[in-house]
Amino acid sequence: MLLPTLSVEVALEALLHQSILSSRQMLERLQSTLIQRLDDLLRQLGVPGSAELRITVVDSSPSDSLPISLEVNNHHCDYTWKIIHLLYSYVSGVAFDKMPPPQMIAAELRELSPGNDGEDAQNHMIDLICSICIEAIKLQPMVVLGHEQLTTYRDQLIACSDEADQFRRELTPERLPSLPWLKQVLGFMLEHKLSIALTGRLPGSKTVGALLLQCWRQGMPHIYAAEELMDALVPNDTKAEIHFAPGFLREVTESHEKDGGECFLSLRQAIYDEFGVSLPRFKFVENQALNPRSFALKVHAQVLKPWVGLLPSSGTLTTREQIEYIVRALDEDLRSNLCCLFPRWYADHFISELEQTFPTLVRIVRERFNQTQRVRVLRGLLADHISLRNLRSILERMLDYESDPDDLDQFELYVRAGGSKPLSVIS
């Protein structure tokens, strides 16, 4: 089957573009490398498509504007100078204590021009541009769900049906999920770091595609269908993977065999103390694709932005300091993705822990609000970095809500802001 085209346009700041064009070989390598990484990302996400890349130049821009602009399927992809800073550190292999001003980062990017440092500079420049583009897309993954991708995905659903051949023959385009419904469900999954691969296996030998069809036939609103899929794709034995470059995990733990692991356990405890939720157990994985002495958190199907470890400076860096630095970086990524680790079944378990102390409150909440309404409010608070430790207060505010609880945006806003003491954001 011919894969649909994913339209990608990368616009480079003039001086950066000039550096790329100064070497035809470098331009060709950038194009082939970025297309390959874009195609790999689509496969990782489970999105049908093949990247079509266009590299252009930004004619003029303010001095503090981003040096690389990215559009996917005619949608602009936003990212920040912090992403450039982290990825520049990763590519260069040096972790910086503080983020330098944008002008300094832009100047350092231009210093990577092939005329200055030869092939190594070319490799760094290509790696950096590709990494920025990939991470920018992962920040807003719905951009890869264009009309062509959704249409192809829907057409492929027929082959994924677990029903009899007679039912498959009845799956005409008119009986398949609507594209707006499909985009909302798939977009939710991608935003929560889940793969939408149609053939992905679920408990009970069902596939993602078969469960999607089942939800559509049952007339589920997209919000409820998305939660059904998240429940199936995030079982209770899910682990949060911490990926290390080959040999790096051994390097940072071999001299701290007794207390090195305790630092990672303290990370789980710190999240629990502040937010009231328990993280999945950690699994350490060696990742050959990472640059030397680097690491990254993987949440479900997605490896998040990579970090580079600290470099020894005149022999003053201790292994303990290295571990603490890694833990701080992982803490930042975990906090930003707590909502992805909070499926409906965990929300039910979380509320149940309050049942022994406040059984009537829990019973009334369950009677008034369904599973999806409850988890959407709690997950929304986590996404806004609001602690769930005062669960009693949160449930009581939910009961004060008198409008339609399926208007989940308003429901969450009411719970967050209602009462004399609004819920506060954890900095």
CA distance 253 to 323: 8
Biggest CA pair distance of the chain: 73
Buried b (16+ CB within 10 A) or exposed e, 355-379: eeeeeebbeebbeebebbbbbbbbb
**pLDDT for position 419:** 45
Evaluate whether 415 touches 396 at the Cβ level (below 8 Å).
no
Residue bearing the bigger pLDDT, 316 or 90: 90
Choose the weakest-confidence range: 246-260, 364-378, 406-420. 246-260
Top-confidence range, 23-27, 95-99, 229-233, 260-264: 229-233
CB atoms < 10 A from the CB of 64, how many?
Answer: 10
Residue 310 and residue 196: Cα distance in Å, rounded?
36
**Candidate CATH numbers 3.40.605.10, 3.40.50.1000, 3.40.50.300, 3.40.30.60; the one for domain 239-337:** 3.40.30.60
Tens digit of each residue's pLDDT (9 = 90 or more) over 70-123:
999 999 999 998 999 899 899 988 887 666 666 677 666 666 555 555 677 778
| Percent of the chain with pLDDT strictly greater than 70 | 84
User: For 329-387, how does the pLDDT look when each residue is reduced to its tens digit (9 = 90+)?
Assistant: 999 999 999 999 999 999 999 999 999 999 999 999 999 999 999 999 999 999 999 99
Query: At the topology level of CATH, where does 342-417 sit?
Result: Helicase, Ruva Protein; domain 3 (1.10.8)
Q: Is 256's pLDDT higher than 60?
A: no
Domain ranges for the chain: 5-144, 147-233, 239-337, 342-417
Helix (H) or strand (E) holding 51, with range, is strand 50-58
Predicted local distance difference test score (pLDDT) of residue 161:
62
Q: What distances in angstroms separate CA 191 from CA 86, 302, 333, 414, one per listed residue?
A: 21, 10, 14, 24
Give the pLDDT confidence score for residue 422 in this predicted structure: 57
Indicate if the pLDDT at residue 288 is higher than 70: yes
- Top pLDDT among 296 and 413 is at 296
86: CB partners within 8 A, 6+ apart: 305, 307
Q: Is the pLDDT of residue 164 over 50?
A: no
